[in-house]
Amino acid sequence: MGAGATVQRAVGRCVALLLAVLTLNGTAVAAGIHITDDAGRSVSLAHPAQRIISLAPHMTELLFAAGAGAQIVGAVEYSNYPPAARRIARIGDSAQLDLERIVALKPDLVVVWQNGNAQRQLEKLLHLGIPVFYNEPRRLPDIARAIEQLGRLAGTEAVAQPAARAFAARVAGLQRRYAGRDPVRLFYQIWDRPLMTVNGEHLISDVIRMCGGRNVFAGLRALTPEISTEAVLAADPEAIGGVTAEAGQAGNLESWKSWPRLTAVARGNLFVIDSDLISRNTPRILDGAEQMCEQLAAARARRK
């Protein structure tokens, strides 16, 4: 009987252990994944997403940075980085989405640029019950946070977390190097017809601050306000920055040379950066930031 009792106790322990494992697993499944996105919405998944659709080029790039590139089944036009992104099926562009194509791809997650997609079409996706994650980084640390969040949603934390830490460390290094320098008053032009800039809440303004610059239109209310040429002339910035579609080109700043008394023109401080490196909310923005920091350093060196 002693031996039998021992066996029974061993079996009882095994059954108890199995029940405990099943209970923990059940709790984990029930708990799922819960993220609060940049729109303040709760995004919940029972399991890590395996079929993701990206509705913005920068979201595609962030997903690859988070280790989830292989799980993207559809992306919008201009999703061109990294090179593997070019092979992903296209589902329209930010202005016009192919909703039928999106539904046919059976996504378990759609990732969205909050201010860059047609809201009416997004509402249709929400009504279909497809989980939607909104992204709208306003500060550089938000990019690291987005990488971590996407890694959680896709179950790729092993890649996402080191990538986020590396990004944060690089930001800290640039801040140590440039943030304490004498400020350079900068007008940053994102478009010329109509003439448009960014206010102090825009991510590009965070780059400007990190580099020791001062956005002369930071106080405007709109995120990307339309302004007049007269407003720029009145602000008389020490430097003018802008974007170019291709490295080494002059971009759309040449017209400012018509006002040779403008401080930025008189000192030769018209600077451009490849738009993919400064206008996309991805880790590559630090490549653009390094260029901007050096450009502002050059502007300081030209002071009399």
Q: Residue 160 belongs to a domain with what CATH number?
A: 3.40.50.1980
The rounded distance, in Å, linking the Cα atoms of 104 and 8 is 54
Task: Identify the helix (H) or strand (E) that includes residue 156.
Answer: none
CA-based end-to-end distance of the chain: 100
Which single residue is written with the structure tokens 């497809």?
130
CB 121 within 8 A of CB 102: no
Residue 246 — pLDDT band, cuts 50, 70, 90? low
pLDDT surpassing 60 at residue 5: no
Are 158 and 196 members of one domain?
no
pLDDT confidence tier of residue 251, bands split at 50, 70 and 90:
low
287 inside domain: yes
Query: Which of residues 125, 143, 168 is at a domain's end?
Result: 168
39 within a domain of the structure (yes/no): yes
Domain presence at residue 9: no
What's the pLDDT score for residue 26? 40
Confidence of residue 118 (pLDDT cuts 50, 70, 90): low
- CA dist 41 and 213 (Å) reads 34
* pLDDT for 94: 77
Q: CB–CB of 221/199 below 8 Å?
A: yes
**116 and 205 fall within a common domain:** no
Tokens of 42: 């709760």
- For residue 73, the number of C-alpha atoms closer than 13 Å in the C-beta half-sphere is 15
pLDDT digits (tens, 9 = 90+) for 276-297: 999 999 999 999 999 999 999 9
CB contact set of 144 (below 8 Å; sequence gap of 6+): 164, 165, 167, 168, 171
**What percent of the chain stands above pLDDT 90?**
77
- The pLDDT of residue 88: 98
Q: Decide if pLDDT at 8 tops 80.
A: no
Does residue 213 share a domain with residue 256?
A: yes
Q: Are residues 143 and 240 in the same domain?
A: no
Could you give the CA distance from residue 229 to residue 234 in angstroms, rounded to a whole number?
A: 9
pLDDT tens digits for range 150-187: 999 999 999 999 999 999 999 999 999 998 899 999 99
Total domain count, the chain: 2
Domain end position, chosen among 123, 140, 168: 168
Q: Tell me the backbone φ, ψ of residue 91, rounded to 5 degrees.
A: -125, 35
> Please, which pLDDT band fits residue 271 given cuts at 50, 70 and 90?
very high
* Entry field: residues in the chain: 304
Strands 191-192, 195-196: pairing kind: antiparallel
Q: How far apart are CA 235 and CA 250, in angstroms?
A: 22
Q: Do 209 and 284 belong to one domain?
A: yes
- pTM score, two decimals? 0.86
For residue 27, CA distances in Å to 15, 16, 21 come to 18, 16, 10
DSSP 302: T
C-alpha angle 41/43/44, rounded to 5°?
145
Domain contains 206? yes
Residue 57 scores a pLDDT above 90: yes
pLDDT band at 23 (very low <50, low <70, confident <90, very high): very low
- Measured between alpha carbons, how far is 203 from 145 in angstroms, rounded to an integer? 14
* One domain for residues 88 and 201: no
pLDDT band at 44 (very low <50, low <70, confident <90, very high): very high
Residues 149 and 208 in one domain: no
State both tokens at 301. Answer: 């060196």
Residue 14 binned pLDDT confidence (cut-offs 50, 70, 90): very low
Residues 68 and 134 in one domain: yes
Same domain as 139, residue 201? no
Per-residue pLDDT at 115: 72
Is residue 4 in a domain? no
Distance between CA 152 and CA 158 in Å, rounded? 9
The neighbour count for residue 47, using CB atoms within 10 Å, is: 10
Residue numbers of the domain that contains 134: 33-168
State residue 116's pLDDT score. Answer: 62
Q: Are residues 218 and 278 in the same domain?
A: yes
pLDDT bucket at 20, cuts 50 / 70 / 90: very low
> Does 146 fall in a domain?
yes
The pLDDT of residue 15: 37
Domain boundary among 168, 200, 229: 168
Instruction: Say whether both 253 and 163 belong to one domain.
Output: no
Output 25 or 71, whichever has higher pLDDT.
71
Q: What is the pLDDT of residue 127?
A: 86
Q: Is residue 27 part of a domain?
A: no
Average pLDDT, the chain: 88
Let me know if residue 16 belongs to a domain: no
Indicate if 149 and 224 belong to the same structural domain.
no
Q: Does residue 249 register a pLDDT over 60?
A: no
What mean pLDDT do residues 215-241 have?
A: 97
